[in-house]
Amino acid sequence: VLLNVFFPPFLTGTGRDAMVGTKPGPVQIVLVHKEQHSFELDEKALSHVLLQDAIRDLDVVVVSVAGAFRKGKSFLLDFLLRYLYTQKEDSNTDWLGVEDEPLTGFSWRGGSDPETTGIQIWSEVFIVMKPNGKKVAVV
Protein backbone atom coordinates (compact mmCIF):
# COMPACT_ATOMS: atom_id res chain seq x y z
CA VAL A 1 0.00 0.00 0.00
CA LEU A 2 1.43 3.36 -1.03
CA LEU A 3 0.69 6.14 1.42
CA ASN A 4 1.38 9.83 0.98
CA VAL A 5 0.35 12.70 3.17
CA PHE A 6 -0.77 16.03 1.76
CA PHE A 7 0.64 18.92 3.80
CA PRO A 8 -1.53 22.02 3.28
CA PRO A 9 -1.40 25.04 5.56
CA PHE A 10 -3.31 23.50 8.42
CA LEU A 11 -6.50 24.76 9.96
CA THR A 12 -6.46 23.65 13.57
CA GLY A 13 -8.67 24.47 16.47
CA THR A 14 -12.38 24.35 17.04
CA GLY A 15 -15.13 25.84 14.94
CA ARG A 16 -14.90 29.54 14.28
CA ASP A 17 -11.84 29.77 16.54
CA ALA A 18 -9.82 27.61 14.15
CA MET A 19 -6.60 29.14 12.95
CA VAL A 20 -4.32 28.52 9.99
CA GLY A 21 -0.98 27.17 11.16
CA THR A 22 1.81 24.82 10.20
CA LYS A 23 1.29 22.05 12.74
CA PRO A 24 -1.29 19.34 12.01
CA GLY A 25 -4.08 18.76 14.48
CA PRO A 26 -7.77 18.10 14.98
CA VAL A 27 -10.26 20.34 13.18
CA GLN A 28 -13.78 20.74 14.55
CA ILE A 29 -16.23 20.33 11.64
CA VAL A 30 -19.46 19.79 13.59
CA LEU A 31 -20.22 22.04 16.54
CA VAL A 32 -22.54 21.05 19.38
CA HIS A 33 -24.95 23.67 20.73
CA LYS A 34 -26.13 22.08 23.98
CA GLU A 35 -28.51 24.90 24.90
CA GLN A 36 -30.38 24.63 21.59
CA HIS A 37 -30.01 20.83 21.42
CA SER A 38 -28.60 21.22 17.92
CA PHE A 39 -25.56 20.65 15.75
CA GLU A 40 -23.90 22.92 13.20
CA LEU A 41 -21.67 21.96 10.27
CA ASP A 42 -18.66 24.26 9.95
CA GLU A 43 -18.48 24.24 6.14
CA LYS A 44 -15.47 26.56 6.07
CA ALA A 45 -13.38 24.23 8.24
CA LEU A 46 -14.46 21.15 6.27
CA SER A 47 -13.77 22.86 2.94
CA HIS A 48 -10.32 23.95 4.08
CA VAL A 49 -9.36 20.33 4.66
CA LEU A 50 -11.12 18.60 1.75
CA LEU A 51 -10.89 21.14 -1.08
CA GLN A 52 -7.10 21.34 -1.34
CA ASP A 53 -5.86 21.00 -4.93
CA ALA A 54 -4.04 17.70 -4.32
CA ILE A 55 -7.13 15.93 -2.96
CA ARG A 56 -10.23 17.74 -4.16
CA ASP A 57 -10.91 15.23 -6.96
CA LEU A 58 -10.16 12.08 -4.95
CA ASP A 59 -12.69 9.79 -3.36
CA VAL A 60 -12.70 10.26 0.42
CA VAL A 61 -12.44 7.40 2.89
CA VAL A 62 -13.76 8.38 6.32
CA VAL A 63 -12.45 6.48 9.32
CA SER A 64 -14.65 7.24 12.29
CA VAL A 65 -14.82 6.26 15.92
CA ALA A 66 -18.06 6.87 17.80
CA GLY A 67 -19.28 5.98 21.24
CA ALA A 68 -20.09 7.10 24.75
CA PHE A 69 -17.96 9.85 26.28
CA ARG A 70 -14.79 8.93 28.22
CA LYS A 71 -14.45 5.51 26.58
CA GLY A 72 -11.15 5.94 24.68
CA LYS A 73 -12.14 7.20 21.23
CA SER A 74 -9.35 9.80 21.03
CA PHE A 75 -6.87 7.26 22.39
CA LEU A 76 -7.82 4.85 19.59
CA LEU A 77 -7.60 7.60 16.95
CA ASP A 78 -4.09 8.46 18.15
CA PHE A 79 -3.03 4.87 17.50
CA LEU A 80 -4.54 5.13 14.01
CA LEU A 81 -2.55 8.32 13.38
CA ARG A 82 0.64 6.61 14.53
CA TYR A 83 -0.04 3.78 12.07
CA LEU A 84 -0.76 6.15 9.16
CA TYR A 85 2.36 8.22 9.79
CA THR A 86 4.49 5.06 10.03
CA GLN A 87 3.05 3.85 6.71
CA LYS A 88 3.73 7.24 5.14
CA GLU A 89 7.38 6.96 6.12
CA ASP A 90 7.45 3.48 4.55
CA SER A 91 9.14 2.37 7.71
CA ASN A 92 9.85 -1.24 8.54
CA THR A 93 9.72 -0.39 12.22
CA ASP A 94 7.01 -1.58 14.55
CA TRP A 95 4.26 1.03 14.17
CA LEU A 96 3.10 0.50 17.75
CA GLY A 97 6.32 2.13 18.96
CA VAL A 98 8.07 1.51 22.23
CA GLU A 99 6.14 0.95 25.43
CA ASP A 100 6.81 4.39 26.92
CA GLU A 101 6.35 6.39 23.69
CA PRO A 102 3.53 8.90 24.27
CA LEU A 103 0.56 9.03 21.92
CA THR A 104 -0.02 12.38 20.25
CA GLY A 105 -2.76 13.85 18.09
CA PHE A 106 -6.28 14.11 19.42
CA SER A 107 -6.39 15.36 22.99
CA TRP A 108 -7.39 12.93 25.71
CA ARG A 109 -7.03 12.74 29.45
CA GLY A 110 -8.31 10.90 32.47
CA GLY A 111 -11.40 11.95 34.37
CA SER A 112 -15.14 11.93 33.96
CA ASP A 113 -15.72 15.13 31.95
CA PRO A 114 -15.87 14.93 28.13
CA GLU A 115 -12.73 16.15 26.35
CA THR A 116 -14.20 16.61 22.87
CA THR A 117 -17.70 17.06 21.48
CA GLY A 118 -19.07 17.20 17.96
CA ILE A 119 -17.07 15.82 15.06
CA GLN A 120 -13.37 16.42 14.45
CA ILE A 121 -11.12 15.39 11.58
CA TRP A 122 -7.34 15.47 11.29
CA SER A 123 -6.00 18.45 9.33
CA GLU A 124 -3.60 16.28 7.30
CA VAL A 125 -5.18 14.18 4.60
CA PHE A 126 -3.50 10.83 4.02
CA ILE A 127 -3.42 9.82 0.35
CA VAL A 128 -3.50 6.04 0.03
CA MET A 129 -3.00 3.96 -3.11
CA LYS A 130 -5.52 1.13 -3.18
CA PRO A 131 -4.49 -2.28 -4.57
CA ASN A 132 -6.29 -1.42 -7.84
CA GLY A 133 -4.02 1.63 -8.29
CA LYS A 134 -6.65 4.23 -7.42
CA LYS A 135 -5.70 6.97 -4.96
CA VAL A 136 -8.08 7.87 -2.15
CA ALA A 137 -7.99 10.56 0.53
CA VAL A 138 -8.22 9.18 4.07
CA VAL A 139 -9.60 11.45 6.79
Identify the CA nearest to 62 among candidates 13, 130, 129, 125.
125
Compute how many other C-beta atoms are within 10 angstroms of the C-beta atom of residue 129: 13
Residue from 26, 24, 25, 28 nearest 14 by CA: 28
Residue 54 reports pLDDT greater than 80: yes
| DSSP helix/strand/coil, 65 | coil
pTM reported for the whole predicted model: 0.70
Say whether pLDDT at 59 is over 50.
Answer: yes
What whole-number distance in Å separates Cα of residue 73 and Cα of residue 116? 10
Give per-residue pLDDT as tens, 92-119.
667 777 777 777 777 766 666 665 678 9
